[in-house]
Structure 1
Amino acid sequence: MKSCGVVVEYNPFHNGHLYHLEESKKHAEADCMIAIMSGNFLQRGEPAIIDKWYRTKAALHGGADLVLELPFLYAVQHSDYFSQGAIQTLAEVGVDSICFGSENGRITAFTEAFEHMNKHQEEYDVTVRRYLNEGYSYPEASRLGYESIAFPSGSIDLTQPNNILGYSYVKQLLTYAPDIEPLTVLRKNNHYHDEEIHGKIASATSIRKELLEEKGMTEKAEQSLPPSTVEVLHQYKNNHGIWHDWEAYFHLLQYKIMTMEESTLRCFHGVDEGLEYRLKRTIKEATTFHQFISSLKTKRY
């Protein structure tokens, strides 16, 4: 029996995810699809719109045969740690291939990029550090770092979010699990951060925005979701009275940060370069989560 793994968040499971599962199964010629999915909190730290049990139910209805939880330790990290946890877990259960969605759609572009980066890693690192020291944001410093090592023509665009994740998956596969075949499916009809629904395949970002702003299921949202997901979303809202987002928990985050000492905040992974002092200052002025993040962000942080 051939098995294919996919790394997912399904927040919520939509028609694009259904397309990815079906195409991955075809590409891999797989008998069994295994999804490794974030739990109740996702890579950006936000709470999932519905909990992991209901999202698992939607995934199984959509064609996954087995859903594993990506441990929280990995699920809320940047792409390197996120992909490392996901790939190593799928390797442990013995999948034959792993298929991800990308803006590029050609797996050779990812493997060539990995080989090229291996040859020029030191030059890339030096360039990124230089631009960070000059005050550039990390994404911009990374983009300039990629430019500095002149990726081959036709290579992947590593400013695109799914290409970044895909590159991380391929890097982890070639480093830790070279016997697993990497595959990719071209994303269709939308961009990862699109905030408006256009047609039957829409980004998860746009679907969540529609559901949360309208405080209920709408015709526009429903057309972009499989009927089983619509049912699961209704079940969750009826049973728990809420679809989750950052704002519902801001008052708890605000209380926690305001009552913690800087020395305690400093112990959290990622709180460095004096970020604990900025956290303490900005949390007092914010009245919403988005206002807090907006005032917290600078070129340095």
Structure 2
Amino acid sequence: MKSCGIIAEYNPFHKGHQYQIEEAKKKTSADVMIVVMSGNFLQRGEPAIVDKWKRAEMALASGADIVIELPVAFSVQPADYFAKGGVALLQEMRCDVLSFGTESGTAEEFQQFAADWLKNEEQIEAAFQQFKNNGGTYSEQMQQAAESVLSKHSLDLQLPNTILGLAYAKENSRYRHPMLLEPIQRLGAGYHEKQLQKTSFQSATAIRKQLLEQQISGQISNVDKQALKAAVPAKVFNILVDSQLVDWNAFWPFLKYQLIVQSEEQLRQTYQMNEGIEYRLKEFVTQAENFEHFVELVKTKRYTWVRLQRLFTYVLLQFTKDIADEALDGPKAIRVLGFSAAGQQYLSQIKKSVSIPIISRLHQKNKDLWEIDIQAGKIYQLATGEVTKEQDFHRLPLRKVEA
């Protein structure tokens, strides 16, 4: 069976994601579409708007055949580590093709750029250190570093999906048998667009903003309701409107508690807690009126909003430097969240060739393989209020009901 893999967050799943799955399947003639999906905490340091099971259900209903979970150690990371975890899992799944959305670039351009990058990695890193404190964003600095070392290229490293695509291509190139690449051109609204547009392909950012505003106000206009309905598949819309939605505000009391009770020395053990930022956190935590106010008080040119959100997630999860050193070696297991009939057949086909365990059900004997994510799931439940329904223990993979 030919397989095509996608690394995603689906926060939430929308018609742009559905288009990507359909196009990737058509272009690669894949029998099975495998999605490696972030769990309950995401790359930009945010909690998912709905939990991993609901997002896996959305993906299965919209063309995915297998959904496996990207461990939180990799899911709350900049592009390179995010790609490391996702590509490692697709390699374990014996995936033939890696597909990703991008604003620009062909498979050949990504492959060539990745090869040039890896060949000149030390020089690029040295150049990056020179640009590091010039006041630009990380992506601007990395673009400058790459352009100072590599020959001219057409990939724009300031575009978010292109950055991720390059990270996937670089990581994929490290393997003895790399997957083929299949970029899919991104359509519709921009990645960071905060307002719903007159298009079927909306940004996840705009959809989340609209949904959360609706939850706060308790109402939604007919115009906005129709725009949301047009932006997501029908089943996804029904899941979203019936769910308790989550954002950082729901975790603010828990983060505030952690920052107050932990000493500076304890906070320094947190992964990515560097440069004395712990003193700034302790100084402002009791002054902040809410989460957004806290971030505004703390952020600097070096500590951007996204970097702080990731740091706060590490504090919330008590993800320390020692834990990170071990966890970031690579995924310890393949955690299956759901599958179709074709997906189940594919899992049976590859199960003897994988080098790490496939987990379809967590229990006392295998819990050590998923310990960090089990804790992350319990913390996520604090915000949803669904204390009677575990995120991990005793949860069997979802089975797609075939039409």
Counterpart in 2 of 1:283? Answer: 285
1:222 matched to 2:237? no
Q: How does 1:89-100 map to 2 (within 5 A)?
A: 89-100=89-100
SS of alignment partner, residue 223 of structure 1: helix
Q: Say yes or no: does 1:269 pair with 2:268.
A: no
- Letter of the 1:156 partner, please give it: L
1:295 to 291, 294, 297: 297
The number of equivalent residue pairs is 295
> Do the aligned residues in 2 keep the contact of 1:95 with 1:180 (CA within 8 Å)?
yes
How far off its partner does 1:135 sit? Answer: 5.0
Distance 1:280 1:207 in 2: 34
SS at match of 1:54: helix
What code does the residue aligned with 2:212 have? L
Q: Which moved more, 1:24-33 or 1:290-299?
A: 290-299
Q: Aligned residue for 1:85?
A: 85
CA distance in 1, matches of 2:123, 2:174: 20
- CA distances 1:123-145 after superposition (whole Å, capped 9, x unpaired): 32222212224555433322321
Distance across 2 between alignment mates of 1:86 and 1:177:
17
* Local SS of the residue matching 2:40: coil
Note if 1:114 corresponds to 2:106. Answer: no
1:9 partnered with 2:9: yes
Structure 1 residues 151 and 250 mapped into 2: Cα distance closer, same or farther (>3 Å)? farther
Deviation string for 1:162-212 (max 9, x for gaps)? 011110100111102533111110001121111111121101000000111
Change (3 A) 1:177 1:62: farther
Amino acid at match of 2:273: V
Supply the distance in 2 between the matched residues of 1:102 and 1:144 (Cα, whole angstroms): 20
Q: Residue 293 of structure 1 aligns to which amino acid in structure 2?
A: V
User: Letter of the aligned partner of 2:280 in structure 1?
Assistant: R
CA distance in 1, matches of 2:131, 2:182: 33
Q: Equivalent residue for 1:189? A: 188
Q: Is the 8 A contact 1:113 1:151 kept in 2?
A: no
Q: Is the 8 A contact 1:57 1:232 kept in 2?
A: no
CA spacing shift, 1:177–1:190, aligned 2, 3 Å: farther
Give the distance between the partners of 1:108 and 1:13, measured in 2 at CA: 28
**Cα drift, residue 119 of structure 1:** 4.0
3-state DSSP of counterpart to 1:176: coil
Please report how far the alpha carbon of residue 300 of structure 1 lies from its aligned counterpart in structure 2 after TM superposition: 2.5
Match of 1:285, SS state, is coil
- Which of 255, 258, 282 is residue 257 of structure 2 equivalent to? 255
Work out the CA distance in 2 between the residues paired with 1:141 and 1:284: 34
Structure 1 CA distance, aligned partners of 2:189 and 2:91? 30
Query: How many angstroms apart in 2 are the aligned matches of 1:6 and 1:187?
Result: 14
* Counterpart in the other structure of 1:160: 159
Q: 1:105 to 1:27 in 2, by over 3 A?
A: farther
CA distance in 1 between counterparts of 2:93 and 2:161 reads 24
The farther-off stretch of 268-277 and 95-104 is 268-277
Q: Is the 8 A contact 1:4 1:32 kept in 2?
A: yes
Per the TM alignment, residue 298 of structure 1 is displaced from its structure 2 partner at its CA by 1.0
Give structure 2 stretches of 5+ with no counterpart: 304-403
In 2, Cα distance between the equivalents of 1:72 and 1:259? 24
User: What SS does the aligned partner of 2:120 have?
Assistant: helix
2:394 maps to what in 1? none
Shift of 1:118: 3.1
The residue type equivalent to 1:228 in the other structure is K
Question: Percent of counterpart pairs with the same letter?
Answer: 40
**CA distance in 2 between partners of 1:283 and 1:165 (Å):** 33
Which stretch shifts more, 64-73 or 124-133? 124-133
Q: Where in structure 1 are there 5+ consecutive unaligned residues?
A: none
Kindly report the root-mean-square deviation, in angstroms, between the aligned alpha carbons of the 2 structures.
1.6
Question: Is contact 1:4–1:34 with CA below 8 Å preserved after alignment?
Answer: yes
Distance 1:79 1:230 in 2: 29
Distance of 2:176 and 2:5 partners within structure 1: 13
Give the drift of 1:59.
0.6
Which residue number corresponds to residue 208 of structure 1? Answer: 208
Deviation (angstroms), 1:146? 2.7
Distance 1:89 1:177 in 2: 15
Q: Deviations over 1:56-109 (max 9, x none)?
A: 111110010110000111111111111111111111111111100001141122
Shift, 1:115, TM fit: 2.5
CA offset digits 1:5-49 (Å, max 9, x no partner):
100111111000000000111121101101010111111121111
Cα shift at 1:277: 1.3
* Distance in 2 of aligned mates of 1:257 and 1:231: 37
8 Å Cα contact 1:105/1:184 also seen in 2: yes
